[in-house]
Amino acid sequence: MHVAIVYESLFGNTRQIAEAIGEGVRQSHPGADVDCLQVQEANPDLVESADLLVVGGPTHMRGMTSRMSRKAGLHAIEKEADELKSHHEPEEGAEGPGVREWFRRLPKTHDKLHAAAFDTRAAAPMSGGAARGIARKLRHHGYELVSEPQGFVIEDAEGPLRDGELARAKAWGAALN
């Protein structure tokens, strides 16, 4: 079984969730070949052959990130660095395209391959979530969703993740087929 987990992350929280999902998949499918790929490393030919494709990203403006929202996020990191003299390094590749742009490069599948979507988001009541939009794009690309879109909660815009979310991500990954 080949599993590809593709994630986008500005501050590292979505990467941590993606890695925990990967651990869960490896636990429940010990022979599986699991690739956990930052969106810019995820060449469509690496992903096309996957029996299960899991895609996740941060929630920005109540949905999937955009070029503008990522710019705003990176600007906030720079501003914080100037004001507080502390520096929260953006994730490698944070300046580049995100999941929304990546879907434009992903060919449609006609094999009804399995897929699942996740996001990271704030706990606030109107916070929205990116996972539904990601799930919609997966469906439009011909994938069959094997789980409800999942949101994993952060305590603040830059993290950390809420206690227990990594364990929940691992369990969610373990249950994917």
Ligand X SMILES: Cc1cc2nc3c(=O)[nH]c(=O)nc-3n(C[C@H](O)[C@H](O)[C@H](O)COP(=O)(O)O)c2cc1C
Q: Rank residues 59 and 150 by Cβ distance to ligand X and give the closer one.
A: 59
Q: Rank residues 24 and 65 by Cβ distance to ligand X and give the closer one.
A: 65
Min separation Cβ 59 and ligand X, Å: 4
- Per CB under 6 A, residues contacting ligand X are 9-14, 58-62, 69, 72-73, 76, 120-122, 127-128, 154, 157, 159
Min separation Cβ 1 and ligand X, Å: 26
Min separation Cβ 77 and ligand X, Å: 9
* Strands in 27-166 per DSSP E: 33-38, 52-58, 114-122, 144-145, 150-154
Q: Rank residues 17 and 115 by Cβ distance to ligand X and give the closer one.
A: 17
Beta bridge partners of 121: 153
What is d(CA 124, CA 140) in angstroms, rounded to the nearest whole number? 29
Min separation Cβ 43 and ligand X, Å: 21
- CB-based contacts of 125: which residues, under 8 Å, 6+ apart? none
Question: DSSP code of 106?
Answer: S
Q: In 3D, which of 51, 43, 22 has the Cα closest to residue 34?
A: 22
Q: Rank residues 46 and 122 by Cβ distance to ligand X and give the closer one.
A: 122
Three-state DSSP state, 107: coil
